[in-house]
Structure 1
C-alpha cells in the first residue's frame, strides 16, 4: 500500500527553464516545466536520453539553478539563495540516492551515514545513535563497522539510503538507484523505498525500468524538456512503446 499525498506542497516548480549556450548553439534542456511535489508523493520520472529529466532532477535537488522560473522548497524561494544558504537548505530538506553509491572507502558504514549530520553540527553521541538506528532501519544493524569493500552492492546501496534519510529529509531523490543491482537486490532495495513512502516520506525516483516505475503512485514521462504525461492512470502500454524498451 502506497501512502496518499497530504496536499501540502514540498517542492513547487513554476515555468522552469534551463538554457545552455546562446544563439545558434542554444539548447533548452528544460522548457517551461511546472511541477508540484506534495508531501507523501511517490513519483517515478522516465524519459529518453536528452528529454530533460536529469536536468530537471538536478534543479529539483538544488544541484543546479534554473535560467528562469521559480522554485519553492518547503516555502523558501530557491533561486534567490546564496550558494552557502543553498547548501544548508539541501542538507536540511533533501536526501539523495544515486546509481553509484558514493560512499567514502576509508569510512565504516556508520561513519558514512554520519556525514550529513557532521555538516548539520549534530553532537557526536547523537550522530552515532541516529546513524546506527538508520542502518538498523535498512537491515544493516550488524554491519556498522564494515567498510564499503566489505559490503555487497546491495548493502552499499542500503548504506547510501540510510545516509540519505538520516536528516529526515522532506524529499528523497533517487537517480537510477537500482541501475547497478541484480534483480533480487533490486526488489529488496525497492521494498525499502516502498516502506519509507508508507511511513510518510516523499520520494521522487528516476528510472528507465518500467517495473520499477510501476511501483510509484504516478509516472512523469519527460519529452523535449517538459512533462508529456503525468496522469496517475495513464502509464499505459502506449506510453511504454513511446519510450522504447531500453529508455
Structure 2
C-alpha cells in the first residue's frame, strides 16, 4: 500500500523562449507520487512527459509552481544543493543506458557511491552483491561494449538503485531493447516494486510496458489529463 508523498508537483508551469516564440511545455501541472507507488507516464511527443520527468529528477527547474521531493522545497535550492539531493534521493535510468565506456560494469555501479562518500571496500562489496543479484556476477569486469543491450540496462539499473534512492526515475528504459529483453528488465522493475517497495516513475510510449505499472497517467499539451490503474492493483 502506498505511503506518504515522496514527490509533489504543485501548479507547475514550464515555458521556453519568450514573446511570440514562447513554448509552454507544462501548463499548471499538479500531481503527486506516494512512497511505494509504481507510476507509468504516457503521452504523445510534445505532451510534456519528459519535461515533467526532468523536473521530478531535479535536472530542470519549473518556471513557476513548487516541487517538493521527500519534503524538501526543490525550487529554493542552489545548483550544488540540487546535485547533492539528486545523489541522495534519486536514481535514474535512461533509454541509452549512459554507462561510462571506459569503466567496467562494477566501476559503473560503484560510481554513485564514490559521490556519496562510501568507503572503497564497502563500495566494492555492495557493487558486486548488486550485480550478482541481477545475474551479472560473471560480468563484473566487462566494459559496456562487451555487454548486450539488456546487460547494459541491467548494469544501469544496478547503478541507479545502489544508493537506495527514495525515487527511481526511468525514461523510456526499454526503448532500445527487444521484446524478450524488455520483459526481463520489466521483471526486475516488478521485483524492485513488489519485494523492496521501491517508488518508481516510468515514462514510456508503449502500452504493454505501462500496463505493468500500478498507476498510469496520461499527459496532453503539458497537462495531466487522466490517471487510472495499471495491472498492479
TM-score range, shorter chain: over 0.9
Q: Which residue of 1 aligns with 2:182?
A: 186
The secondary structure found in structure 1 opposite 2:101 is coil
CA drift at 1:137: 2.0
Give how far 1:133 is off: 1.3
- Check if 1:74 corresponds to 2:73: no
- TM-score with structure 1 length normalisation? 0.91
Return the alpha-carbon distance in structure 1 between the equivalents of residues 171 and 150 of structure 2: 15
1:27 Cα deviation after fit: 1.2
Aligned to 2:213: 216
Residue of structure 2 equivalent to 1:37: 33
Q: CA deviation at 1:67?
A: 0.4
TM superposition shift of 1:91? 0.5
Map 1:205-244 → 2, pairs under 5 A: 205-232=202-229
1:10 corresponds to 2:41: no
Displacement of 1:105: 1.1
The residue that corresponds to 1:105 in the other structure is 101
Q: CA deviation at 1:47?
A: 0.3
Q: Secondary structure at the match of 2:228?
A: coil
Unpaired stretches in structure 2, ≥5 consecutive residues: none
RMSD: 1.1
The CA deviation string for residues 223-244 of structure 1, in whole angstroms up to 9 with x for no partner, is 01010101327xxxxxxxxxxx
Give the deviation of 1:135 after TM superposition: 0.9
Matched, 1:160 2:156: yes
Task: Name 1:141's counterpart in structure 2.
Answer: 137
Structure-2-length-normalised TM-score: 0.97
Flag structure 1 segments of 5+ consecutive residues without an equivalent: 234-247
CA drift of 1:22 comes to 1.6
Equivalent position SS for 1:85: helix
Q: Larger deviation: 189-198 or 129-138?
A: 129-138
Deviations along 1:49-94, one digit per CA (max 9) or x if unpaired, are 1101110100000000000001000111000000000000000000
1:201 counterpart residue number: 198
Aligned length: 230
**Is 1:58 aligned with 2:51?**
no
Secondary structure of residue in 2 paired with 1:95: strand
- Stretches of 4+ moved more than 6 A in 1? none
